[in-house]
Structure 1
């Protein structure tokens, strides 16, 4: 058995509930990463599964792994063609003025010697679209559902800060890094269509650190 929860499993796909704080690739400075779990995640198969998409180190929840190279190629194409439905939950370090909306901001990468790299809203960047709605408010902070149409790096984090004017709680890059031990973002559900087969459909339970702040998903 693996110590990472498995949310979906068949002959070509696994969806795992990635813990917040676990990087997918081994950090340059070393340390534990998802790579340390690949052997366990073979689950009787000869080859280890391969991640199809990315989640930030801090982000918890649904991560799709392909169990063979052909499946990896097909699933990656589904992401590129925006056929994959993704649902995220995030805790904002404040409360937006509206209850729901759509954020359309193009994103570009910048870097500096002092701060390293980060994403910013820029007209010449890559188009990105996120639909959002507020689900709950506790202690002056909002639980928000995000449904991104595109999958840009740090998309939800930048859209929260620049589109809503409020960063995600605990975000050390786009916020002040306070109020939580990690950036409070959770990949709650994932649906991947497949030709001739039922879709891959998975949902990850609300993490303990979200529940500890008084929130529930529903």
Structure 2
């Protein structure tokens, strides 16, 4: 990384020690190098100097300075500048696309329709990500928009950004208090039994070669609860599910759908080869979409925002014969 980056902590990352958070995000960074960055004040949380054992909280912003290249040596100046120019250009182009995908904007909030395939935050091998393009979404504001929650890279749909520190704190409080109601749509393989219900299945993170993954773990896992409803289905071949997570664990909906015996279409990580339908007409992309959010707006009123299905899911809906809703979500859609 060749420039200063500000990363907002979401609920999944909360309660981690700062040094362990760095180890997960930047595995090439040595402990000694991190300690030096902390001692010299180059790493800060909410603008303040901090210690390695600080426990992170949702909504806090971590300042990450330029880090040394693998091997501990600084990257050559020319290579660093070239990467920086490419990164700036990619962020500007991404910013242009995101401005076209804005669903709502006011003095407090910015809501975008995140495209499938775009990572929300960066990592060791992720150079193009939404967090890196937030400066392009200031719209004249002195403050950079802040992430207050996240979606998986391959999940599309509603993503809320806070335009001020005050709004970020308020939204973080709402997410912690589970006052944010979330509605997802998914196409799944098979037909759940019963057709609607509640999944209460604890999950724990599982290290492995295939990246981040969770597994059912009723003894030591974090409690995870999801409500689901079958909207339409094609016999027992495939179904359209509405999903309402009560908790916000990593990959919760993907793991819960797999546990039902109905993996999300395109989710090879949790459904294996059984997560795909034959034929070129059905995309192999993940069919999980953050359809809508509803929560008390920081200004006082109940706020509801929704995003249309992405192109690959529209094509699948048409092929399977599901009805396509093009209008905004209503209150009744959350009630199951």
Aligned equivalents of 1:200 and 1:158: distance in 2? 29
Cα offset for 1:171?
0.9
Aligned equivalents of 1:48 and 1:196: distance in 2? 20
Aligned to 1:19: 115
**Root-mean-square deviation over aligned CA pairs:** 1.9
Deviations 1:21-77 (A, max 9, x none): 000112421342113431331122122211110100000000010011121111011
Aligned to 1:65: 161
The structure whose residues are more often helix, as a share, is 2
CA contact (8 A) 1:206 1:216 kept: no
Aligned equivalents of 1:122 and 1:115: distance in 2? 19
- Taking the TM superposition and a 5 Å limit, the aligned residue runs for 1:30-179 are 30-112=126-208, 114-123=209-218, 124-138=220-234, 140-162=237-259, 164-176=260-272, 178-179=276-277
Aligned equivalents of 2:168 and 2:242: distance in 1? 28
Cα gap change, 1:27/1:196 in structure 2, threshold over 3 Å: closer, same or farther?
A: closer
Q: Which runs of 4+ in 1 moved over 3 A?
A: 114-117, 177-181, 215-218
Q: How many residues align?
A: 216
TM-score by length of 1: 0.91
CA contact (8 A) 2:265 2:284 kept: no
Aligned to 1:190: 293
Q: Which is bigger in relative contact order (C-alpha 8 A, separation at least 6)?
A: 1
Deviations 1:67-111 (A, max 9, x none): 111211110110111110100001102222322111111111111
1:3 aligns with 2:100: no
TM-score by length of 2: 0.60
Cα gap change, 1:202/1:110 in structure 2, threshold over 3 Å: closer, same or farther?
A: same
Aligned equivalents of 1:109 and 1:47: distance in 2? 34
Between 1:127-136 and 1:172-181, the stretch displaced more is 172-181
